Amino acid sequence: MTQSIAATAKSESKPISTLVPPHGSAELKPLLLTGDAHKQSLKLASTLPQILLSSRERGDLIMLGIGGFTPLDGFMNKADWQGVVDDMRLQTGANAGLFWPIPITLSAPKVTADTLNKGDKVALVAENGEIMGVLTVEETYTIDKEHECQQVFTTTDPEHPGVQQVQSQDEVNIAGSVEVLSEGEFPMLYPEIYKTPAETRQILADKGWKTVAAFQTRNPMHRSHEYLAKIAIEICDGVLVHSLLGALKPGDIPAEVRQEAIKTLIDNYFKADTVIQAGYPLDMRYAGPREALLHALFRQNYGCSHLIVGRDHAGVGDYYGAFDAQTIFEKLDKDDLITQPLKIDWTFWCNACSAMASSKTCPHDASQHVKVSGTKLRKALSEDEEVPDNFSRPEVLDILRSYYANIAREERAEVKLEGASAV
């Protein structure tokens, strides 16, 4: 008999009841097979028709596998897709009525979908040919892509990277439960920081932490990020610096460079045993407020009681207001999420204070403020401009400059200052 990764962790671990429970469930529900069950499913998968996963779908499948998307058991059917897009609620089965902010769906070409019937099994395959899982078909259906984009991203602009993801999906969605067979390259590429929700919960439990603030980042941490994390440490037992390891848009800094920069910052500028560095396997959707809600939801599965939500969380360009990702939490019912936002105002370096400050704490005129953003930092570095010390720590800048020094100027993606990042 094969145990799930969650059951194995539970049987070998100390009680973790002091942490927040998973979303919509008393325990994690990982769908990753191990042992004989894995071997048998992989053997079957090699005989099945295949569906090629996009990068986003692959990341979603791995999150289903490790329990990050507890309590989902696979890719959403049409009723759940509609309920999530329009009302942020699942509509079917045991999870009917449960809060969920962004659809988790799988697409396939119509020529493939037309051959599938309810109960059929298909292999889910990554672009490199690796068999990632097996799906048992529940339903095939089409969607209004523009409607999904408008509801989730608040725009149908084809320049929006999340809109591009949806519009590039194949014609038909395939719903069904999944057996997950692989975590991809993440355990091998990031052995020190890639952790499943069960592993993360065990670390938090071993530390005796009850309140944990997740810090979501797709950037190296600059001085404002550092300040946000330290505010959270004053409030909570500790902070989980939780970095996205999946695909980003052109111009963003790759995960291995970000991880080195973040580790250097933590080692040099945070008190020991107040911060845990970890990573997760999703791609960015750049959905702004809706993605902030998803970030809070799956951080609950990782054991976090809070999510730090600052300026322009999960935003891109000028599609969202600076604090839309904070105000969207106010629209939720009180039982929708246990993990709550730590809402923090504009943070900046104040020349008059000679310190980091926020709009709530600094009395000085805006002319004294140096507002820092990941986009501003990437733009300066990509254009070989000087970066003031009050933007980022020198040890971090050394790592980032070394990265850009190995990329020819003409090969660097253009970094635009738009929306909140341009202020």
CB contact at 8 A, 310 and 341:
no
Helices (H), 236-288: 255-269
Distances (CA, A) of 389 to 119, 224, 284, 352, 382: 60, 12, 29, 15, 17
State which amino acid sits at residue 216: Q
Count, residues in the chain = 423
> Is 299 an active-site residue?
no
CA nearest neighbour of 157 among 409, 373, 418: 418
CA nearest neighbour of 20 among 287, 297, 227: 297
DSSP, res 414: P
The single residue of 58, 89, 201, 218 carrying the catalytic annotation is 218
> Is 77 an active-site residue?
no
Buried b (16+ CB within 10 A) or exposed e, 78-110: bbbbbbbbeebbbbeeebeebbbbbbbbbbbee
DSSP, res 246: S
Burial label for 196, CB within 10 Å (0-12, 13-18, 19+), is buried
The single residue of 77, 95, 173, 219 carrying the catalytic annotation is 219
The alpha carbon torsion through 280, 88, 52, 168 (nearest 10 deg) reads: -110
For 65, phi then psi, to 5°, come to -65, -40
List, by residue number, the catalytic residues. 218-219
